Copies of this chain bind each other. A is one copy, B any other.
Amino acid sequence: MQTPSKTSQLGRPRTPRLSRKAIGRAALEMFQEEESLSIPRLAERLGVRQSSFYKHVTGRQEIIELARGALVEKAPMPELPAGSLDDVIREIFDSLRKAYSMVPALLPLLLTQPVSHPAALERYDQFVEAFEIAGAPRHLIIPALEALDSAAIGASLDAMTMESAWSINEEEEGTYPHLFAAKKAVAEHPVDRFAFLADVLSAGLKAAIDDD
């Protein structure tokens, strides 16, 4: 239950116990397993005291950014084989939602801060390149990418709020008749939300880009 280090825990250790990469990975893992981040518990996971983090990181926000980096490094970069705009859109959306679906609890926190982790910037840079190659007008690439990102996050978050964003029960059928009917309709005739969103985005973005 204890590392066999008999020596004192004080002072600089002979071999480093922490690194920014290890912190990011552990934070990501914690989000996946516990759906939240607590620095004391993260320290426990890493066999370290909480104050140690502040030698590697300025604070909680930076740990979250490192988790973003760890997520990007864990998610494979898709093949973007210089295909059509449609293929590019679908591939990017799919890779985003696959990554985000791994850690829904992290997403609200990622939303509130700009992307600064190099691995993440690198990944977006490649996405932009793919848009360029597919012939998208330069000034529309960022808006398009943001739209894909938002949609992927929204879709992945639905997994967290338990497959239905609206909490109504049988007795309220009369109170919210249309909402209730719509929920019943989609239950009886299930729709693959991801495929639906992918269709919406590819059709919509292509139209917006072609109209330019």
Contacts and interface: CB of A to CB of B under 8 A. Distances in A.
Interface of A: 105, 107-109, 111-116, 118, 121-122, 124-126, 128-129, 131-132, 138-147, 149-151, 153-155, 157-158, 160-162, 164-168, 172, 175-179, 181-183, 185-186, 188-191, 193, 196-197, 199-205, 207-208, 211
A164 to B, nearest CB: 7
* Chain A interface SS verdict (over half): helix
Contacts of A201: 200, 204
A139 B182 CA distance: 6
A160 to B, nearest CB: 6
B125 A179 contact: yes
Contacts of A153: 150, 154
